[in-house]
Amino acid sequence: MGKRAMSVLLSATMTFGMLAAVPMTASADDVQNITWMFWDDLDASEDPITKGFKNVIDRFNKDYEGKYHVDPITTTLEEYYTQLNALVDADQTPDVFIVSPGPNLTDYVKPGVAAPLDDYLNADGWKDTFSSDAVFTQQTYDGKIYAVPLNIAAACCYYNKDIFKEAGVEVPTTYDELLDACKKIKDAGYTPITISAGTAWCLSMLAGYLCDREGVDLDAVNTGKESWVQDKTIDAGKKLLELSQYFQETAAGDSNDDATMAFAMGEAAILIQGSWAIGQMNAYNPDIEKSCGVFQFPAIEGGNDPARVIAKSDSLAMNAKTKSPEACVALMKYFTDDEAQRWTAEQGGKIPVTNVKYDADKAPAQMADVMKIFSGASSTFGFYNESLVSSDAGSYFDNQMVSIYKQEKTPEEAFQAVEDWYAENGYRK
């Protein structure tokens, strides 16, 4: 008897567990329910892009009421891929999910989690609404497009016009001018460059620019045609070290947020960041909008084409096993329709992927400068940490750049370490 009681107790617990495990999407008759996974909280976030996405979801659910319905699954950027992987493992892959192009997307293309989207893109002129085919470059594998870009963020140098004027500095166009400017700004009593080494990718972005300006051929390095240890990378490392004397004193511990704030508050003259920082700095200090200028990352004499720009896009991938591809495609189209793209430009501080007309006056003042730089770019390249052979390689690279900055390693040692990492993990023959 007692045994029975216990087994009842146990099975009750189990059933409870199972019941709770079933997603609460029991639906009305014909509504096709899909899930969409994103790395920020739609309701809580102050990020303008996130707010725009919330509008998209709300519009979609309203317009398709009774036909389609999308439930967002949101988490934080920090744990996003972990949680996404857990859902994939549990065979609960979200129908549509956001993903960074590059090795992160590859992780889902290779095992067949993400579906190729060419057929949908070509079907009714959807693809023609995009500004160019080039926007799909980073989303293409073996000739097939696996994700739809939603926006483009370009990494630029922001500068405080007032400080520049006070220090008597012109906008630098070459690396030497940049150094010179930094020196004058420091003499004028300001922090020349504000950057975050606490959040490693921020520092790594600068390193990426330096490497590219030096003319590092990333493809050749990734595929093993060239080594990470070469004059160009090492020069880039040395320049990183050289610039680091002009960073704010607390750079080692500052987060991205701290670094951007120092710029917004007028403590520092130059910030090297993606265009998403525009919304952030204007939120900290609305006055910065007037005094903030933007310039292209300076050229290195004798180096690579200086009109190349680091660009990054958020993209949507579709679950290859989704039950409602039509609903997924309809949702993705909402993300790239005029209203969403206009928001991207006017509020989001990012560059739209379509040819949408938007009101430049509504967009933050810095946006026009970013657009100018972006449209004048000869070509774009990805974040270095998202363009290496794997996401692990990317974070390893980031950390090596930080150790150069902290002078724990010489540039030679640091790039040797990256090369060794490639060898240890089977990317070198």
Partner 1 sequence: MNKKKKIKASTVVIYVFLSLMLVLYLAPLVWIGLTSFKSRPEIYKAPFGWPTAFHFENYAMAWKAGRLGIAMMNSLFVCVITLILTMVIGSMAAFAIARMRWKLAGAAMVYILIGMMIPVHCVLIPLFVRFAKIGLSNNLWGLILPYLTFSLPTCVFIMAGFFRSIPNELLESACMDGCSIFQMFFKICFPLARTGLFVTGLMTFIGNWNELLLALVFVSDDTKKTLPVALTKFVTPYQTNYDKMFPAIMIAIIPTIVVYCMFSNQIVDGLTTGAVKG
Partner 2 sequence: MDKLLRNKKVIFIFVAPALILFTLVLFIPIGTSFYYALCNYDKATRSYHFIGLGNFTKLAKDPTMRIALKNSLFFLFFSCISQLVMGLLLAALLTNITKGRNLFKNVIYLPCVLSSAALGLLWAFLFHAKVGINNLLLQIGIKGPGWLFETKGFITLPMWVIAFVALWQYVGQSMMLYMAQISGISKSLYEASYIDGASKTKAFRYITLPLVKPMIGTAMSLNAIGSLKFFDLIYAMLGDKTENLKMDVLATYLYRTGFSSKGGNHYGKASAIGVVLVVLCLLATWIINKLFKTENYEM
Instruction: Residue 197: name its binding partner from partner 2, partner 1, none (Cβ under 5 to 8 Å by kind).
Output: partner 2
Instruction: Residue 110: name its binding partner from partner 1, partner 2, none (Cβ under 5 to 8 Å by kind).
Output: partner 2
Footprint of partner 2 on 97-116 (CB under 8 A): 107, 110-111
Q: Which of 79, 119, 231, 392 binds partner 1 (CB under 8 A)?
A: 79
Estimate to the nearest angstrom the gap between the alpha carbon of 287 and the chain centroid.
26
Cα 163 to Cα 370: distance, rounded to the nearest angstrom: 20
Q: How many helices (H) and strands (E) does the chain have?
A: 18, 14
Query: In whole angstroms, how far apart are CA 100 and each of 63, 94, 213, 387, 421?
Result: 28, 16, 24, 10, 23
- Work out whether 73 is an interface residue with partner 1 (CB under 8 A): yes
- Work out whether 47 is an interface residue with partner 1 (CB under 8 A): yes
Q: Which of 8, 11, 27, 46 binds partner 1 (CB under 8 A)?
A: 46
- Work out whether 1 is an interface residue with partner 1 (CB under 8 A): no
Instruction: Residue 271: name its binding partner from partner 2, partner 1, none (Cβ under 5 to 8 Å by kind).
Output: none
Strand bridging mode 144-145 / 351-352: unpaired
Instruction: Write down the least CB distance from residue 269 to partner 2, Å.
Output: 17
Instruction: Write down the least CB distance from residue 410 to partner 2, Å.
Output: 16
Choose among 377, 420, 385, 380: nearest CA to 401.
385
Q: Which residues contact 87 (CB under 8 A, 6 or more apart)?
A: 37, 73, 93, 94
Estimate to the nearest angstrom the gap between the alpha carbon of 144 and the chain centroid.
22
Footprint of partner 1 on 173-202 (CB under 8 A): 199
- Work out whether 422 is an interface residue with partner 2 (CB under 8 A): no
SS3 content of the chain, % helix, strand, coil (to 5): 50, 15, 35
The helix/strand/coil state of 50 is helix
Cα 191 to Cα 267: distance, rounded to the nearest angstrom: 6
Instruction: Residue 16: name its binding partner from partner 1, partner 2, none (Cβ under 5 to 8 Å by kind).
Output: partner 1
Determine contact, residues 421/396, Cβ cutoff 8 Å.
yes
- Work out whether 250 is an interface residue with partner 2 (CB under 8 A): yes
Instruction: Write down the least CB distance from residue 196 to partner 1, Å.
Output: 9
Query: In whole angstroms, how far apart are CA 345 and each of 35, 126, 358?
Result: 26, 20, 7
Q: How many residues does the chain have?
A: 429
Q: Which of 3, 4, 21, 28 binds partner 1 (CB under 8 A)?
A: 21
Instruction: Residue 252: name its binding partner from partner 2, partner 1, none (Cβ under 5 to 8 Å by kind).
Output: partner 2
Residues that bind partner 2 (CB under 8 A): 2-3, 5-6, 9-10, 77-82, 85, 88-89, 107, 110-111, 197-200, 250, 252-255, 258, 391-392, 394-396, 398-399, 402, 406, 408
Residues that bind partner 1 (CB under 8 A): 16-18, 20-22, 41, 43-44, 46-47, 73-79, 82-83, 86-87, 89-90, 92, 199, 255-258, 261, 265, 276, 280
